Chains A and B, each alone.
Chain A
């Protein structure tokens, strides 16, 4: 499979972000933040988010990693930098996307992001991926 600058990475979709998975994540991470497991705590914020828990940052990033793994195989990730301009909420339908920005010595430098189905960019960053041989 040849890769060229400007290529779109095949998207990876999460049809409905799960509040239950957030609870499991909170336990694994030992993360006490109630925003990830208490809908009432989120509703009490002056942010207008309603009664929906907020996905952990690493989980949203994980969807992007899953996209990269599906594209170039597990173990391909060399570096990822990520910002979190908007929150991901339980029940959200999100899609991980990316494009190849440059190629160098067997590596692909990519722009990656997590997009809400309504088009908003929720996470945005860059990834360096080892290109699969053969």
Chain B
């Protein structure tokens, strides 16, 4: 099935989009299940597994994976490819600590690699604890067009 290509201007206009922001607390049950999924034992001292830095910014920042797909006008859930993650930790993530989360879109551009058109969109988030930055997450996805 062919999908209409979104206007390039509607993609580039995403740069500067800010998510509502908010607060998020990683619950013990959530971290226990998350850590178990990686095949690791629970971490000591209430540490959350670092891969929480994938979903916590979305949920705490007032968005969701589904909304990010929609913002990029994804043809389907199957059309998103990961380009890269860049995660920085200034202190270990902890359970039962409320983080302030902010984020937005910092890059949105159309690419044409030998006729393969896709939109490259970058999402940046920051987690802070009492005004001090605890972690940053940058995620870049490709919104493929008419490849599936």
Contact = CB atoms under 8 A, between A and B. Distances in A.
B104 to A, nearest CB: 20
A59 B37 contact: yes
Size bracket, chain B contacts: 35 or more
Contacts of A30: 55, 58-59, 64-66
B94 to A, nearest CB: 10
Contacts, number: 110
A80 B92 CA distance: 13
Interface string B118-129: 000000000000
Contacts of A32: 65-66, 69, 77
Contacts of B64: 30
B47 A80 contact: no
Contact of A25 (B37, B83, B87): B37
Contacts of B87: 79-81
Given A62-B38, A62-B49, A69-B40, A35 B78 contact: yes
B49 A65 contact: yes
A74 B89 contact: no
Contacts of A134: none
Interface of A: 14, 21-22, 24-25, 28-35, 41, 45-46, 57-59, 61-63, 65-66, 69, 74-75, 77-84, 125
